[in-house]
Amino acid sequence: MSKYNDKTTVQELVSDYAQIIKGKTVLTTGVTPGSLGHMFVEAVAAASPALLILAGAKTRNLVVDLCSLASVRKAAEEVNSWADVPKIDVVVNNAAVMATEFALTVDGFETQFAASHIGHFLLNNLIMSKVLASESPRIVNISSDGHRFSPIRWADPAFSNGETYHKWVAYGQAKTANMLFAMSLAEKLSKRGLQAYSLHPGVIFTTGLGTHLDTSENGDIKLLNDTDKLQGNQEGWADLKVVPVEVGTATQAYAAFDPNLIDHNGSYLLECRVGDPYVDTVKPWGTSVIEADKLWKLSEKLVDQKFEY
């Protein structure tokens, strides 16, 4: 059982994990100021990692647009060319968009699915040789309890060019993909030492992820609540449990560095512990080995490249 809880902060965890973090190379996507990723790298920096690689459209260190396969491939080529970075110990796939209006990427993917999953799937696999060069590699996917809104829409992942689009269902599909991707990584690469986890950071209003949402009486929050009620989710009749960003980021540090998680490789985490499907919002479509395998195959098809380990 974890000794941490739903009030533990990222600073507390980094203090506890300082000797584990020291000397590690950590790559994090989605590090714009005010984001979970920014808070994470800011906290981790205090523990003297060897290198923090900040991946995003506006950073000097690694420029990448996760909604463009060409950009992802270029970024991966750059990382692989760094002779002075022989290994990457931890990858934190933090970048995402949430409940945006319908749009397709340049490659024809629904934007939320591309930004949260497809871009990360390709990037992670293309730099996997450097990840596996670590003595204790980890990959962390920032998911959400919003995965409750949808499994993977196998027959229509791009929402029929917008005709069937529902912004919260699309968010749910993207967050389910984060869970399934972590499961596949653990299943395929645990024998080579890789640990992979997905997590729900909590409901946080102080990052930039939801600044675009319409919070008017009949806006996006009402649509979220109505969707929960329509699907019979308990969240439809409960108040939002909001946490500060330093608490939400704590589960990222827990997933990235906790030394006692190996028996739960591939799991979905929340509140600095392993999620319990009997009491937490952990939908079966996010923990199915069959769904995970199907998503891996679909993702390979979408990026037009196979990754076999």
Q: Please list the active-site residues.
A: 165
CA distance 224 to 231: 11
CA distance 176 to 142: 10
- The distance from CA 76 to its chain's CA centroid, rounded to whole angstroms, is 18
- C-beta of residue 98 within 8 angstroms of C-beta of residue 171: yes
CA distance 196 to 89: 12
DSSP at 100: P
Cβ burial of 279 (10 Å; 0-12, 13-18, 19+) is exposed
Strand-pair partners of 196: 139
- Exposure letters 210-222 (e unless 16+ CB within 10 A, then b): beebeeeeeebbe
Please state whether beta strands 90-93 and 62-63 pair in parallel, antiparallel, or not at all (unpaired): unpaired
The two structure tokens encoding residue 102? 């319908």
The residues near 120 (Cβ < 8 Å, ≥ 6 apart) are 29, 66, 93, 95, 141, 178, 181
Residue ranges in the chain assigned as alpha helix (H): 10-16, 18-21, 36-44, 69-81, 111-113, 119-126, 128-132, 167-189, 220-231, 245-248, 250-257, 289-303
Place of tokens 């629904």: 110
